[in-house]
Structure 1
Amino acid sequence: MLYDQHIHSRYSQDGSASIEEIAQQAIVRGLRGITITDHLDFCEAEIGYHFYLEHEAQRREEFERVREKYADQLEIGWGIEVGHPYFMTDYAKDFLSKRSFDFVLGSVHFLRDQSDIYLIDYSQPQEVDRVLKEYFTDLLALLEFGGFDSLAHLDYPLRVMKGKIAEPTVLPYREYIDPILREVVRQDLALELNTRGFMDWKKRQEPEDWVLTRYRELGGRKITVGSDAHTLSAIGGAFDQAAQKLKALGFEEISYYRNRKPFPILL
């Protein structure tokens, strides 16, 4: 299971490492393949699509150079993490139709008022509830837009809710999550197991066990695994734990995407 399909380079505003540094670290960690999935958030925020466009040509040039340089040691996929394309539907469709990727992650980082989920004040319990309900509603809107391969970090807002909720679970929002999982299965997409949660206050993968179990009950079999690394030290993090968890929940393989097509990797 040595394929990390969620890594951010310096071409994401919150990333820090060059693509070459990422490749070198992946080789040291014993990975067989990685996918560079820099942010493309379709919004006017500072970390929005303008930042990506300003660096797109440089990102592609470095990617091609590094992929060729390390071709005999590591498979490097050309990916992207697309955020809330429904903010700019026509532009997003045009943008994606004119570019090719190995792998496209779909995600939500901003709410409909374009407030950053990371920067909201969660001191009031009703604000926690509001954000989670809006977030899951927007995940359905993301799925309605489509155009991606795997749904990223389904319980993303919990990352910044330590001390604001009693325990790191989204079980109270099952009625919102079930339609999301059904739609992922209906579209034959993958669901991401994000290992970042093992390293933060949740001490478990994202999403939690019951979500993965429910996904499998509904017929979901495609799972992608990513560290969501923004630093070199996080690349491939907790992959052994992720593999053990998936096996325990009845999954037999993960999916690795090349040219937008899933290839099975046995656990």
Structure 2
Amino acid sequence: MIYTDTHLHTSFSSDSDTPMELMIKKGLELGMKTLCFTEHYDPCHPDTPDKLDFLLDFENYKKTLFSLKEKYASQIEILYGLELGVQPHLGRLLANFYEKYGKDFDFIINSCHIVNNMDPYYGTYFKELGATRGLMTYFETVLSNLKAFPHYQSVGHLDYVCRYLPESSQTFFYDHFSDILDEILIEIIERNRALEVNTAGLKYGLDWPNPDISILRRYRELGGELITIGSDAHKPEHMAWEFDKVPDILHRAGFRHYAVFKEKKPVVYDI
């Protein structure tokens, strides 16, 4: 079993209404040893049908987390993280963000949610681009994002876009996108960054977490070693989602260890 969940959202993220303390109490109930909260910050996010802005009150987030970190210090480890929604044109803005806020975080996830001013979550993305072009454009944007903001520790849900493929095109084949995916994985490895295993893919009905096991295997073949594990939970009932399946998936992909970042440095645990 995995007893650390390093991708969690609370009411500090605009797509969650769960108080942070409630997530901590659920973590204790689940027997978790470490939780890392990674609230959304997506600057320059387009308007959404549900009026979410994905901005973040950094001061109150930090104040609340460190207060609860102290309150529960004898029961569970609480880490200070961020899921950063990166876009290729935001390099200077994100550099300024990092200078002001970034150095205090234990862990920053570099995630791609927006491509061509669209989030695949809302359905119009594949209607406009189609399945093959939509996937390729997404992966090309991920690569640009990693170069635009290199101060991350892990790449979040690398094939996030696959969660929202049209029903007629729900099969993802690594070989169809191997060139761009290899570029991404080599970029991650050369920077000594991690690749996230995000079990929300299982919650969304995929056969594998995000990313697909074919990507995990290729990452290992290319020399990748650092893996982080998160549920991407926005509600207590989704915490540690199907973590019981993760050890077998990672073993099948060639991994024997996973990492938890503390003060941006990986601490490695056996699977």
Q: TM-score range by the shorter chain?
A: over 0.9
Summarize the Cα distance change of 1:16–1:170 in structure 2 as closer, same or farther, 3 Å threshold: farther
Structure 1: runs of 5+ lacking an equivalent: none
> Mean alpha-carbon deviation: is it higher for 217-226 or for 83-92?
83-92
1:21 aligns with 2:26: no
Aligned amino acid, residue 258 of structure 2: I
Indicate the SS of the match to 1:114: coil
RMSD after superposition: 2.0
1:187 aligns with 2:191: yes
Task: List per-residue Cα deviations over 1:105-138 (Å, max 9, x = no partner).
Answer: 0011001x31122124366595222221111111
Task: List per-residue Cα deviations over 1:64-108 (Å, max 9, x = no partner).
Answer: 111111111111110001111533221210111222200000011
Structure 2: runs of 5+ lacking an equivalent: none
Task: List per-residue Cα deviations over 1:228-256 (Å, max 9, x = no partner).
Answer: 11111111111110112112322111010
Q: Distance in 2 between matches of 1:102 and 1:18?
A: 21
Alignment partner, residue 156 of structure 2: 152
Displacement of 1:189 in angstroms is: 0.5
Displacement of 1:184 in angstroms is: 0.7
Taking structure 2 as the reference length, the TM-score comes to 0.91
> Mean alpha-carbon deviation: is it higher for 37-46 or for 214-223?
37-46
Task: List per-residue Cα deviations over 1:163-194 (Å, max 9, x = no partner).
Answer: 14142445421222111011111111000011
Match of 1:214 among 211, 218, 224: 218
Indicate the SS of the match to 1:52: coil
Indicate the SS of the match to 1:71: coil
Alignment partner, residue 137 of structure 2: 134
Alignment partner, residue 8 of structure 1: 9
Percent identity reads 29
Indicate the SS of the match to 1:10: coil
Taking structure 1 as the reference length, the TM-score comes to 0.92
Write the mapping of 1:44-123 to structure 2, written as runs, cut at 5 A.
44-46=45-47, 51-53=54-56, 55-99=57-101, 100-111=104-115, 113-121=116-124
1:30 aligns with 2:22: no
